[in-house]
Amino acid sequence: MKICLVNPNYSGQVYFQRKPPHLHAPLGLLNLAGYLKEHKIDVNIIDANVEELSINKIAAKIKIIKPDVVGITCVTQMIKNVYSLCRNIKQYGNIRIILGGPHVTYTAEKTLEECCDIDAVVKGEGELPLLMLLQYWQGDKKITSLKNITLRENNKITTFPNSNHMLSIKELPSPAYEMIPLKKYFSSRLFCPGLKQRKILDVITSRGCLGKCTFCVSPNFWRKLRTRVVQKITTELEKVRKFYTFQHIDFWDDWFTFSRERTFEFCEFLKHYHPKVTWTCFARGEELDETLLKQMKESGCSGIQVGIETTNPELMKQINKRKNLEKTRYNLKIASKLGIKTLGSFIIGLPGESKNAVKEYVKYAVSCNLTYALFIVFTPYPGTKLAEKAGVKINDWHSVTGHKKVIPISEISKDFLVKKRRYAIMKFYFHPLVLWRRLYNLIKNPASLLDYLYLSKELVKRISFKNN
């Protein structure tokens, strides 16, 4: 059996612009490909982002590959585009189409009802359910072996039981990096230092998160935190290094620094074997400290991203975000002093949020010496606890961007939230202290002028973003 895995083109929808500000490898598809290849399944990958393929061109390329099955990963914003892609693919013959990803995991039956060209949805972690489905279609497995699948067969939609069994990710094969043009991917200039665009490598060392945030799909989707053996990951990096000389690593774990000992182990490896490689990660601000941050900096850490979300204690309880704001602020200021860039994210429009909350977010962001602040309009995505609690139903998923309000979950109007987001961006980035820090850094490091020019360009796009 031959399968083609597809990452659809996000430009103009997820990025709300033709040229994306960054382009990262489809790690989910690379993991699936590595697993299927190990089980003797013929696999191809099409990343429409890096190849800049339209829906018609993706379908045309699939026609040339002639797979038996097409598997498409789908984020919420892309669902309508993916429906169009499925219709185009079906024009080229009896090709079975499977969708996967967080969105369709929690809207599986509705997805199949809305698009008759989709044959199945793989729910949750995809490796084992996808393999079982392919083997069923090959005639090697009985239908009773299917788990975590919603299937269309003989014009009937059937949902098979969910399984609690999860593969040990310590046993999973390496991502199939060799199947994609690694040199074409790039990170945002905001965190990737240097005059020239550095060669990047996207890496994930764990699945899941210790946090149980109610606005995030990760707790439901991955169910628990599972970590990969550090030694195996370092071996993978050395293997990739033989055919691709990466200069920067973006770690995509939900919470990379959850284990102090494990983070130190990574730092030691990077410091000794890749001393010129820079890297970024996601962290919890209150879990950091000066000793750990110094070790991270010495091993090449150029930036950390921290989810702050809100400064209101009651809202923190609502979203189940246990955060020590004072400790977070202290550690972020240390990171800034050490020369590690910091990005803090805030959610605007959480249920129960006051109209003056954004002013507090900006004030806190400035006090943390954040390099960048990201302000996102709250959206209850499928599979999140807040969406379940609110009973929200969104028909126009195509309009979901994180830059505007699309659901009536609070009394605050849509237009007001969009204005507040613009206000937050303007107030933070043009705050006298923030401007002074940028000027001081520019004097110390003239090469950062390019970063600031890039940042200015991105700010203009976000400030001028239309709510339509």
Cβ-count burial 237-262 (b if 16+ within 10 Å, e if not): beebeeeeebbbbbbbbbbbbbbeeb
What's residue 391's pLDDT? Answer: 63
What's residue 465's pLDDT? Answer: 53
Residues in contact with 363: Cβ distance below 8 Å, sequence separation at least 6, in sequence order: none
Q: Select the more confidently predicted residue: 181 or 385.
A: 181
Which 3 state secondary structure label does DSSP give 429? helix
Task: Please calculate the CA angle 247-251-253 and round it to the nearest 5 degrees.
Answer: 175
For the chain, give the number of residues.
468
Give the pLDDT mean for 181-201: 81
Q: Select the more confidently predicted residue: 176 or 397.
A: 176
User: Which element (helix H / strand E) includes 304?
Assistant: strand 301-309
Query: What is the C-alpha to C-alpha distance for residues 406 and 394, in angstroms, rounded to an integer?
Result: 8
Residue type present at position 260: R
Q: Which domains does the chain have, with CATH numbers?
A: 2-159 (3.40.50.280), 186-463 (3.80.30.20)
Query: What is the C-alpha to C-alpha distance for residues 242 and 138, in angstroms, rounded to an integer?
Result: 36
Query: What is the C-alpha to C-alpha distance for residues 318 and 49, in angstroms, rounded to an integer?
Result: 36
Query: What is the C-alpha to C-alpha distance for residues 200 and 186, in angstroms, rounded to an integer?
Result: 6
Which 3 state secondary structure label does DSSP give 281? strand
Question: Is 159's pLDDT higher than 50?
Answer: yes
Give the pLDDT mean for 244-249: 94
What's residue 397's pLDDT? Answer: 62
In tens, the pLDDT along 18-28 reads 566 778 999 99
What's residue 468's pLDDT? Answer: 40
Local confidence band at 60 (pLDDT 50, 70, 90 cut-offs): very high
Cβ-count burial 177-187 (b if 16+ within 10 Å, e if not): bebbebeebbb
Local confidence band at 29 (pLDDT 50, 70, 90 cut-offs): very high
What's this model's pTM, rounded to 2 decimal places? 0.91
Tell me the average pLDDT of the chain. 88
Question: Is 5's pLDDT higher than 80?
Answer: yes
Local confidence band at 410 (pLDDT 50, 70, 90 cut-offs): low
Percent of the chain's residues with pLDDT above 70 = 89
Query: What is the C-alpha to C-alpha distance for residues 170 and 225, in angstroms, rounded to an integer?
Result: 12
Q: Which range (102-111, 169-178, 446-455) has the least confidence?
A: 446-455
Local confidence band at 323 (pLDDT 50, 70, 90 cut-offs): confident
Residues in contact with 421: Cβ distance below 8 Å, sequence separation at least 6, in sequence order: 348, 358, 375, 376, 377, 403, 404
What's residue 467's pLDDT? Answer: 46
Question: Is 295's pLDDT higher than 80?
Answer: yes
What's residue 12's pLDDT? Answer: 57
In tens, the pLDDT along 340-353 reads 999 999 999 888 88
Query: What is the C-alpha to C-alpha distance for residues 90 and 97, in angstroms, rounded to an integer?
Result: 8
Q: Which range (248-252, 365-369, 416-420) has the least confidence?
A: 416-420
Q: Pick from 263, 271, 254, 313: which is nearest to 288 by CA?
A: 263
E-assigned strand segments in 48-197: 69-73, 96-100, 120-122, 149-153, 156-159
In tens, the pLDDT along 219-243 reads 888 888 888 888 889 999 999 999 9
Question: Is 404's pLDDT higher than 80?
Answer: no
Residue with tokens 């550090």: 230
Q: Which range (5-9, 422-426, 453-457) has the least confidence?
A: 453-457
